[in-house]
Amino acid sequence: QDASTAEQTIDVMNTLFGKHAGKRANHAKGVVAEGSFTPSPEAAKISKASLFQGPAVPVTIRFSDATGVPTISDGAANANPHGMALKFKLSDGAEMDVVVNALAYFPVATGEEFRDLLKAVSESGPNAQKPTALERFVATHPAAATAGKTAKTPSSLARQTYNGVNAFILVDKDGQRQPFRFKFVPVEGEEILPADEAAKRDPNFLMDEIGPRLAKEPARFRVLAQLAEAGDPTNDATKPWPDSRKTVELGTLTVTKAVPNSAEAEKALLFMPNALTDGIEVSDDPLIDARAQAYAVSFGRRSQ
């Protein structure tokens, strides 16, 4: 994909969600926290990444609501999928990013298709003639009709399961390559609200809840890798692998406190899905590069 697809994607996001100075084009509303990652012994066997050799490393975490609307109600249906972005501070001073959300799979497989989906949404308001652009798009992209339904409002940003959606590759010290998808599962369990209850909650109930919760007790997530088997597609984020696929415990994420100056802190943060480390690589999934380009364009505009 060329740079213009990313520019066009951000343009449509700005049309759909409005332009908001200093804010992300998508996942505009969020809260920044701090914590640490402790690797498991199994992780060191499946990947040579220094992240998995220990000891624990600091992590900066940003939880978010979907859309580029910075004032969206946390309980709104459109605030799904909620997101979690992580920046691991590796022992050699380098950083590694992981950016996940609550979808089980993505509505489309490529950056061009995502731009076209957003464009179709923007052309399909209440007065649009039927069949609308969105109806026509969904007719040829079945996952676009169903993916959104896989993410629902949690009782807390710390009580949601977040998925990698895109495939990446773990590389061990012998050069063995294992395609996988990240999964972050709250140790306390996922807790989803009934949709009507979510809609009635205070507009900031999720963002306001996380700080006091962490001040009382850390929130922990199991960090899992779902392992692909031969023949499982790695280049199509619309196709989840069967639940029966083996998962390996990579370690534990412990979220310990919200930062005092979240609004300032999030401005300087940029999480890139392809910012990895030796021992974890991108797959042939075209969305990873599409995302990296779009995030860079969004960062450029919000930094002006």
Residue 55 identity: P
Site string for ligand HEM, 136-155 (x = CB under 6 A): --------------------
SS (H, E, C) 36-58: EEEECHHHHHHCCCHHHCCCCEE
Residues 74-103 that bind ligand HEM (CB under 6 A): 83, 85, 99-101
Q: Exactly one of 62, 87, 152, 159 binds ligand HEM (CB under 6 A); which one?
A: 62
Number of residues that bind ligand HEM (CB under 6 A): 32
Residue 51 C-alpha from the chain's centroid: 20
Nearer to ligand HEM, 44 or 169 (CB): 169
Tokens of 93: 């001073």
The answer to whether residues 183 and 247 touch, using CB atoms and an 8 Å cutoff, is: yes
Tokens of 120: 């179709």
Q: Does 254 bind ligand HEM (CB under 6 A)?
A: no
Q: Quick one: 177 exposed, middle or buried, by C-beta within 10 A (0-12, 13-18, 19+)? A: exposed
Nearer to ligand HEM, 33 or 100 (CB): 100
Catalytic annotation present for 141: no
Nearer to ligand HEM, 129 or 261 (CB): 261
The sign of the dihedral angle between the CA atoms of 24, 181, 59, 257 is positive
The catalytically annotated residue of 20, 27, 82, 141 is 27
What 3-state class would DSSP assign to 293? helix
Q: Does 302 bind ligand HEM (CB under 6 A)?
A: yes
Among residues 281, 228, 280, the alpha carbon closest in space to that of 48 is found at: 280
Q: Exactly one of 111, 122, 246, 260 binds ligand HEM (CB under 6 A); which one?
A: 111
Q: Exactly one of 64, 80, 160, 277 binds ligand HEM (CB under 6 A); which one?
A: 64
Residues marked as catalytic: 27
Per CB under 6 A, residues contacting ligand HEM are 9-10, 24-27, 30, 62, 64, 83, 85, 99-101, 106, 111, 114, 164-166, 237, 269-271, 287, 290-291, 294-295, 298-299, 302
